[in-house]
Structure 1
Amino acid sequence: MAEKKVTGTKDLFQVLWNSANILRSKMDANEYKNYTLGLIFYKFLSDNQLVHVANLLEEPYTNLSEAQKIYEEAYNDVDLREELYENLQYDYSYTIAPELTFQSLLNDIHKGQFQREKLMQGFRDVETSDETFFGLFSDIDLDSNRLGTTQQKKSDTIASVMKELDGLNLAETSSDVLGDAYEYLISQFASESGKKAGEFYTPQSVSQLITRISMLGKENVAGFTVYDPTMGSGSLLLNAQTYSNEPTKIRYFGQELNTSTYNLARMNMMLHQVPVTNFKLRNADTLDQDWPTDEPTNFDAVLMNPPYSAKWSAAKGFLDDPRFSPYGVLAPKSKADFAFLLHGFYHLKNDGVMGIVLPHGILFRGGAEGKIRQILLESGYIDTVIGLPANLFYSTSIPTTVVILKKNKPDKTVFFIDASNDFEKVKTQNNLTDAHIDKIIEAYINKKDIDKYAHLADFDEIKENDFNLNIPRYIDTYEEEEPINIVQVSKEIQEIDKQIADAEKELLAMLDQLQVTDETKSIIEATKAVFRHD
C-alpha cells in the first residue's frame, strides 16, 4: 500500500484519531489512550529503524514496504546481521527484529496471519534493549477482555487499530507535525477522561502562559534546563521548545508518580524528537523523596501543575528536609499544595523563574500555610499572582491561580493580575486565547497598575493585609450598576400588562369558539373563570 500523504498536523491527527475511535466503544478514554498512543509509538520506533537500515546500507526505497524488504535481506545475510544490529543498538538504543516490525505485522494482517504474541514480543524486545525503554509498554494489555470476548476478536481489534495507521511513515514525518498531532491527541483524551485528565494533562493555553513567563529574556540560552516534578504526560515541559531559539539544546527533567503517565511522558519526549541524552525522567513520589539529588539539582525554569489539595504524610521528619526546614512548619496533611510549591522552589536556580498552578486557597488560608506564605513574602520570593478563569481544566471547574516565584528579586513587591474574566467558551470548557495570554504577558512585563486588572503592591500593603494574597484585596473589579430609570421601567411594565391583557382576551375568544362537550365543559368554564378573575 502506498504511504498516506500527510500535509500537516490536521491530516495526521485525523488518521491517528480514526485509530482511537476503534477502541472508543470498548473502554473509556483513560484506558484506550494507552493502547492508541502505545501503538503509535511502536510504529514510530519501527519506522525509524526501517528507514535507518535502508540509509545505512545506502539502498534506495520509496516506501516502508521496500525498506522492510531491504531490512529482511540484510538480516538474512549472517555476516551482515551482527554488524547491523550493533549499529542499530548504538544509534537508537533498541532493536526490532525484521519479523516484529510494525510493517511486518501489517503484512501479516493483510495475509490473515496476525498474531498478537508477535506484537507482545516486539514490545518486550524494545523494553529490554536499554533501560530507557524499560516498562514502556506495560500498560498495553493485549490479552484484555476489553478488546474482545475471544482470542480472535482481541486480535481483530488490535489489527483494526494497526490498519488505520497503515501507510503512514512516522520516521519521515516532520517532528513538529508529529509532535503537535500527538499533543493534540493527548488533549482529546484528556477532554474525554474528565477528572482523570488531571493526572496527565495541563491545557495548552495554561502551559504556554507559564512557559512564556519563565523563559522571558532567556530565549537564546543554550543548554536551558527545565524541571517539572509533577510532569504528567510531559506536555508542560515540552512547551519550552516552542519559545527557545536553541530548542535542540534544552535539557528536560521530570518526575511522575503514576506509572502509566510516566510511560506516556517518555513516549511524548521521543515523538518530539528529543534525544534520550537530553531528558531525564523518573517514576516516583516527588514529595516522599527528594529528586534530583545528583547534578544538576537546580534549574533555569521550574514549571508545575500539581494535583490540587492532595493528601501527603506531612511526617515530622520532613522538618529536617532542606526543602521544607527553612519554614519551620509543614503543609497540612490534607493539603499538599505548599509542599509541592516548596519542593519546586528548592530546585530553582538563583536567577531562575518558577511558575506553578494552584487553587486560590493557597493565597489566603491560615495556619501552617499562612506561616509559609509569610516567610516567602518576607523573603521577597513571590513575584506575581495571576488569577485565571474558572473551568479551564478538564479535571476541575474551580478557578485557579498561577504563582510566579524568583530567588533574586530586588524588592518585596508582588504584582497582581486578575485575568479571571478573560476567556472564550469552547463547548463546555473555557479557554485562554492567544490575545488573552498576550495581555497577561504584557501586563507582567510592564508591572504597572491597570484599572480593574492589575496592581503592583508594595510590602507595606501586603503586610497591612496580614500577608493575605487574595486577589480582590488588591484589585477592585466591582462594576457599578447603571442607575434605574423609574419612568422607563414604569412604561415597560404598562406595556407588558397590556400585552398580557390582549393575550387573555384572545384566549377567551378562542375558548368561546371551542365545541362544548360534557367532558370539556367544566374545563372550559374553569379556565374562563381564571382569566376573568371570577
Structure 2
Amino acid sequence: MTDEQKKKLEQKLWDIANELRGRMDADEFRDYILGFIFYKYLSERLHLYVDQELLKPEGLTFATLDETAQADVLAAVKDACVEALGYYLSPSELFSAVAQRGAQPGGFILQDLADTLDNIQKSTMGNESEEDFINLFEDLDLNSSKLGRTNEARNALISKVLGHLDAIDFQLGNTDSDVLGDAYEYLIGKFASGAGKKAGEFYTPQQVSTVLAKIVTTGKKRLRSVYDPTCGSASLLLRVARELNYSNANKTVGDFFGQELNRTTYNLARMNMILHGVHYSSFDIAQEDTLEHPQHIGRTFEAIVANPPFSAKWSAAKIFESDDRFAEFGRIAPASKADFAFVQHMLHHLDEDGTMAVILPHGVLFRGGAEGDIRKFLIERNWLDAVIGLPANIFYGTGIPTCILVCKKCKEADDVLFVDASTCFEKGKNQNTLGTGDVARIVAAYRDRAEEPRFVHRASRAEIEENEFNLNIPRYVDTFEPEARVDLEAVSARVAAINVEMQDIDKELAAFCAELGLEAPL
C-alpha cells in the first residue's frame, strides 16, 4: 500500500468514526469504532486461518459451511481455532455476515451483534486465552441512548457503520505490511488529540515513543522481554516491537508485559496487542494500580519503557518502606508526587543487562527531600545512564517540558550523559512535535555519547556530586549564546545619516504644508 493509499484509508476510517460521534465525547465514540474494527480483525483473521490452514485441503470454505449439517466439521474447526488463535466465531457470526444482514431492508442486528461479541469471550473460557479476552467488549454498550433514542435508530446507525467497515480491505493476507495496525494506531492518535488531559492516560506521541524504543533497543536485535508498568493503549510496547521488526514470522521480542489502571484503557491495550499480531500467549497485560498492587512480582525484564502520569498522588504508606521495590533506596517517593516511585518500581524489575527509559517532569531532576535522596542513590550506584531534556508542549493535555531518564544496572560508562533537546521540535498550531530529524539527532546523541556544545555533555559523577546531585540540565549543558557585538561607530554613523535624511524630509513636508496653507509640524 502506497503512502497516498494509506492516507486515504486513514481518512476513511476517521470519517466512519465520526458517523458515531453524535452526542458522545471523543473517548466514548473511540471505544465503539475501535471495538468494531477489532471485531472485524478477529473475524477476518479467523476466516483467513480456517480457509487457508484447515479447510483448503478439503475443498471447503468456512463461510459456506452449514452450521447444522456440518456441525462435526465446525466442532473440529472450533477446537483448532481456540488452540491456535485463542477464540472462535461461527460462520454466521463473521463480521461480513452480520454487516450484510444489517444492510438488508428491515435487518435488525443489535441482538445478533451483542450475542456475537459475547460468544467470542465465551469461546475462550477454560482456555489459556481466557484472561486475554475476558470482558474485552464491555465498553460497547449497544443499548446506549447516545447511539440513538430508539432501538431502530441505534440499529440503523450501527448497521451503517458496520457496512462502511465491511467495504474496507485491511489486507490481512499480506504478511509484508500491517495496514490495519497502522490504521488503528492512527485512530488512537486522532482520538488522543481531541481528548485533552485524558489523552495522557492512553497514548504517548509516536515520535516520543520512537525515541524510547530506539534507546532501549540500542545494540540489540532481539529482546527476551519488554515491560511497561503504565502501558495505556500499549503503544510504547508495540513501538519497541516495531523497532525490532517484530512479526508472526519474526518474533524478535520474547514476551510483552504491561499493567494499566484504567479499565477501558486496559481493554484497549489488549485489543491493540492482538490486532498487531501479538499472540495471546506472548503478552501479559494486567489491570490494577501498579504502585499499590503490582501484578508482575518476581519478574525482571530486559527492556522497560514508560510514560507514567506526571506527579501523580499515591499512598506512600509506611508498609512500602519494607517493600523490595523501595527498601534498598532507604526512602520512598512523597505521597504528592509518585514520579520516583515509578522509577524505583521499574528498576526493581529491570534485568541486570537491561535498559529502561521513562518520561518524567523536570521536577525529578532537582526537587529535594526524599526525591533528592533517591536521586543520590541512583548516581552513587551508577545506575543513571542519561538525562534527555525534551521540548515543551509535545504531550497531549499538558504544555510542561519533560525529560527522559535512562537507567542501566550494568553500565559501561562511568558518567551521565546530558542531552538538551529542548529546541528539537517542529512548531504546531496547538502542539509541538518532534520531527524525523529531531528524533534521529536525539537518538544519535544518546548512542554516540559525543560532546557537542549547547547540546550534549558527559558529566562525571564527581561533577554531579559538586552540584549536590542536582540534575537540572542547564547546570551541565551550557545553552548560553552571547549577543552579537555592537559596532558603535557604525551605529553612530547610521544615526547621523538618518538625521540628515530627516532634515530633508522636514523641508519637503514644510513646503507641502505651505502650499495647503497649513502650519508645518515642528
* TM, length-normalised to structure 1: 0.87
Match of 1:289 in 2: 293
Q: Distance in 2 between matches of 1:426 and 1:405?
A: 31
1:248 to 243, 248, 251: 251
Asked if the contact 2:301–2:350 (Cα under 8 Å) also holds between the matched residues in 1, the reply is: yes
Partner of 2:333 in structure 1?
Answer: 331
1:159 aligns to what? 159
Counterparts in 2 of 1:280 and 1:8: CA distance versus 1, 3 Å: farther
User: Counterpart in 2 of 1:350?
Assistant: 352
Which position in structure 2 is the counterpart of 1:172?
173
Q: Secondary structure of 2:305's partner?
A: strand
Residue by residue over 1:364-400, the C-alpha shift from the partner in whole angstroms, topping out at 9 and shown as x without a partner, is 0000100110111111110100001111111211110
Q: 1:245 to 1:78 in 2, by over 3 A?
A: closer
CA spacing shift, 1:187–1:87, aligned 2, 3 Å: same
Specify the SS of the correspondent of 2:314: coil
Q: 1:404 corresponds to which letter in structure 2?
A: V
SS across alignment from 2:427: strand
1:70 & 1:258 partners in 2: Cα distance? 41
Q: Does 2:47 correspond to 1:46?
A: no
Question: Does the 8 A contact of 1:9 with 1:178 survive in 2?
Answer: no
DSSP-derived class of the 2:237 partner: helix
Alignment of structure 1 residues 280-429 onto 2, 5 Å:
280-293=284-297, 297-410=299-412, 412-429=414-431
2:118 is matched with which residue? 124
Matched, 1:100 2:93: yes
Task: Render the CA deviation track for 1:118-173: whole Å, top value 9, x for unaligned.
Answer: 11111111122221210101111111111112222112221222121122344435
Which deviates the most, 21-30 or 358-367?
Answer: 21-30
CA contact (8 A) 2:213 2:240 kept: yes
Gaps of 5+ in 1: 514-527
Instruction: Using the TM superposition, give the Cα deviation of residue 69 of structure 1 relative to its aligned residue in structure 2, in angstroms.
Output: 4.0
Residue pair 1:54, 1:70 contacting (<8 A) in 2 also: no
Classify the secondary structure of the residue corresponding to 2:23.
Answer: coil
Matched, 1:32 2:29: yes
Deviation at 1:96, TM superposition (A): 1.9
Alignment of 1:89-238 (within 5 A): 89-112=82-105, 113-130=107-124, 131=130, 132-170=132-170, 171-172=172-173, 174=175, 176-219=178-221, 221=222, 224-238=224-238
CA distance change for structure 1 residues 373 and 167 in 2, over 3 Å: closer, same or farther? same
Is the counterpart of residue 468 in structure 1 residue 470 in structure 2?
yes
Q: Deviations over 1:180-221 (max 9, x none)?
A: 1111111111111111110000111111111111111111x3
Superposed displacement of residue 46, structure 1 = 1.2
SS at match of 2:180: helix
Identity of aligned residues (%): 43
Q: State the distance in 1 between where 2:161 and 2:392 align.
A: 37
Q: Residue type of the partner of 1:125?
A: N
Alignment check: 8 A CA contact 2:55 2:62 kept? no
Q: Secondary structure at the match of 2:194?
A: helix
Q: Is the 8 A contact 1:379 1:412 kept in 2?
A: no
Letter matched to residue 90 of structure 2: A
Rate the CA distance shift 1:127–1:79 in 2: closer, same or farther, 3 A.
closer
Change (3 A) 1:68 1:418: same
Where does residue 517 of structure 1 map in the other structure? Answer: none
1:229-250 Cα deviation digits (max 9, x unpaired): 1001101001122222665241
Q: Distance in 1 between matches of 2:2 and 2:448?
A: 46
Superposed CA offset, 1:486-513 (max 9, x none):
56667579969969x99xx79x99xx99
Per the alignment, do residues 67 and 384 of structure 1 end up closer, same or farther by CA in structure 2, a change over 3 Å counting?
same
1:47–1:169: 8 Å Cα contact kept in structure 2?
no
Distance 1:359 1:111 in 2: 54
Which one-letter code corresponds to 2:64 in the other structure? I
SS in 1 for 2:108: coil
Residue number in structure 2 paired with 1:57: 55
- Which deviates the most, 421-430 or 133-142? 421-430
Of 153-162 and 319-328, the range deviating more from structure 2: 153-162
The separation in 2 between residues aligned to 1:253 and 1:157, in whole angstroms, is 37
Return the match for 1:87 from 80, 90, 105.
Answer: 80
Structure 2 CA distance for partners of 1:150 and 1:309, relative to 1, 3 Å: same
Q: Which residue of 2 aligns with 1:523?
A: none
In structure 2, relative to structure 1, the CA distance for the partners of 1:67 and 1:35 (3 Å cut) is farther
SS in structure 1 at match of 2:458: strand
1:279 to 280, 283, 286: 283
Q: 1:6 and 1:99 mapped to 2: Cα distance? A: 35
Q: Kindly state the Cα deviation for residue 363 of structure 1 after the two structures are TM-superposed.
A: 0.3
SS of the residue 2:251 aligns to:
helix
Tell me what 2:71 maps to. 78
Distance of 2:14 and 2:159 partners within structure 1: 16
What does 1:417-496 correspond to in 2, within 5 Å? 417-485=419-487, 491=494
Instruction: Say if 1:54 and 1:60, in contact at 8 Å, map to a contact too.
Output: no
Residues in 1 aligned to 2:496 and 2:140: alpha-carbon distance in whole angstroms: 66
- Larger CA deviation: 334-343 vs 406-415: 406-415
Closer/same/farther in 2, CA of residues 82 and 495 from structure 1, 3 Å limit: same
Q: For the residues of structure 1 that align with 2:437 and 2:372, how far apart are their CA atoms?
A: 34
Distance 1:492 1:197 in 2: 55
